[in-house]
Amino acid sequence: MKIIVAIKQVPERDAALTIGPDGKWINESDLTYTTNEPDAYALEEALQLKEKNGGEVIALCAGPERAASTLHEALAKGADRAIHILADDLVQRDTLALAQLIADAIRPEFPDLILIGIQSDDLGLGQTGVVLAERLGIPHATIITRGEMTPIGLRVKRELEDGWFQNVDMPLPALLAIHSGGNKLRYATLMSIKKAKSKETRTVETATSTVRANLTLERVYLPKKQKRTEMLKGTPAEIAAQLVEKLKFELRVL
Amino acid sequence: MTGVLVAVDQWLAGLSRISLETLAAGQQLAKARGVECSAVVLGEGITTLANGLSGKNLAKVFVVEHPLLKNYTADGYVHVLEQVVRQTAPAYVLFPHTYQVRDFAPALAARFEQVLVSDVIAIQDGPFL
């Protein structure tokens, strides 16, 4: 079984984010980067499926030169080889264009399974996987915590609203968007870090995007922090009624 | 291409609360644009649900019933909604932001070479409106 895991490199979660001078993106120069957390779980799921069923795990990442470190980490954890889609202008590309880049890089591999994190910690759109499956013409399932092989393909556990779960059988090839927390993440051993250096990485060059994006980012901004104190007046019963009203219709927490 | 189409979500035999919010957003957008607001609902045996929509001040309610729509599948929903959107040709299609919508709407948008704008909390006038 050939499994491709699509991984994104994102800013560290505790990074201090500042808005760039053009107001359209964050300052990237002083950031440290890491593997997107749900993608780390997708990699773990892929490695476990390989350990149970045999096969090959390929780590794929689209990004500039620095993304190589994320691929190296995936190789050190046990991926067999890597594909690096070299692109400096991902922020300018919308989901359709990104999914197209990934689809083009994946197609010659004919994988049985593609795993991807449910969403990225930076943009958080959660759409790349679904659009990628659509572009490849294969079925997909999202918010998956676990998958296991069956005689006809794959059985996956999907999370639904309000704490419900669903088991879905699907044929292969397929794409699964993996949710964090389904497995325990492994650490790379010293030996496997050394071994990763000799593993193959295929680099896919990309031309500068010429397609006009369907979606253009006009402005990014931090939410305005505001504290407001409001005194509720009346008898205790009136105050309680007002409070319920506010919690229900203004704050919508009830 | 005119009008607003709201694809409402069924959850445990009723309309999800976020579907009602989406209907309200659709009606506001339609009013601001001076166009009609309609809704579409998919499933099997959803007459009660569809009737519930008739009192919501909508121009039209499209009901798609089929045994294969009894249980949600991304493939089925994309297939059906693609046809509904092509036939009704709305300028805007609105969805409640639910797990189920996140599972299929990006693929539906891709069929129209569009990108789904997710996590919307407000709609303002812009250069394209």
Per-residue pLDDT of chain B (129 residues; tens, 9 = 90+): 689 999 998 776 678 888 999 999 999 999 999 999 999 999 998 888 888 888 889 999 999 999 999 988 999 999 999 999 999 999 999 999 999 999 999 999 999 999 999 999 888 877 655
pLDDT of amino acid A199: 95
Instruction: Indicate the residue of B74, B104, B113 with minimum beta-carbon distance to A96.
Output: B113
Report the CATH number at residue A11: 3.40.50.620
Give the distance from residue A92's alpha carbon to the nearest chain B alpha carbon, in angstroms. 14
Among A24-38, A62-76, A192-206, B8-22, which stretch is predicted with the lowest mean pLDDT? B8-22
Q: Which residues of A touch B117 (CB under 8 A)?
A: 215
Which helix (H) or strand (E) element contains residue B7? strand B4-7
Contact B107 A130 (CB under 8 A): yes
Mean pLDDT of chain A: 91
Mind telling me how many Å the CA of B7 is from chain A's nearest CA? 18
> Using one digit for the tens of pLDDT, what is the confidence trace for A77-114?
999 999 999 998 887 888 999 999 999 999 999 999 99
Count up the domains in chain A and report the number. 1
Per the domain annotation, does A229 fall within a domain?
A: no
> For residue A39, what pLDDT is reported?
97
Chain A contacts of B98, Cβ < 8 Å? 161
Write out the residue range of the structural domain in which residue A76 sits: 2-205
Largest CA distance in chain A: 75
DSSP for B55-76, written as a single string = TS--S-EEEEE-GGGSS--HHH
> How does residue A226 score in pLDDT terms, banded at 50, 70 and 90?
confident
> 3-state SS of chain A?
CEEEEEECEEECCCCCCCECCCCCCECCCCCCEEECHHHHHHHHHHHHHHHHHCCEEEEEEEECHHHHHHHHHHHHHCCCEEEEEECCCHHHCCHHHHHHHHHHHHHHHCCCEEEEECCCCCCCCCCHHHHHHHHHCCCEEEEEEEEEEECCEEEEEEECHHHCEEEEEECCCEEEEECCCCCCCCCCCHHHHHHHCCCCEEEEECCCCCCCCCCCCCCCCCCCCCCCCCCCCCCHHHHHHHHHHHHHHHCCCC
Which domains are assigned to chain B?
4-111 (3.40.50.620)
Radius of gyration of chain B (CA): 14
Q: Which residues contact A86 (CB under 8 A, 6 or more apart)?
A: A63, A64, A65, A203, A204, A205, A206
Angle between helices A37-53 and A68-77 (to 10 degrees): 30
Q: Tell me: the pLDDT tens digits for A115-125?
A: 999 999 888 88
Top-confidence residue, A29 or B107: B107
pLDDT at B127: 67
Residues of B in contact with A95 (CB under 8 A): 106, 115-116
A149, part of any domain? yes
Q: State how far residue B74 is from chain A, nearest Cα, in angstroms.
A: 8
CB contact under 8 A, B106 and A130: yes
Q: Residue A29's pLDDT band (boundaries 50, 70, 90)? A: confident
Give a yes or no: residue A84 inside a domain: yes
The answer to whether the Cβ–Cβ distance between A140 and B107 falls below 8 Å is yes
Q: Is A246 a domain residue?
A: no
Residue A106 lies in a domain: yes
- Characterize the bridge pairing of strands B4-7 and A165-170: unpaired
Domain membership of residue A213 (yes or no) is no
Contacts of A41 (CB under 8 A, 6+ apart): A117, A178, A179, A180, A181, A182, A183, A185
| Sole residue written with tokens 């691929």 | A71
* Phi, psi dihedrals of residue A203, rounded to the nearest 5°: -100, 130
Judge whether A49 lies within some domain.
yes
Give DSSP secondary structure letters for B9-25.
-EETTEE-HHHHHHHHH
- The minimal CB distance from B102 to the residues A126, A133, A215 is found for A126
Beta carbons of A161 and B75 less than 8 Å apart: no
pLDDT at A167 over 60: yes
> Residue A130 domain-assigned?
yes
Question: Does A156 have pLDDT greater than 80?
Answer: yes
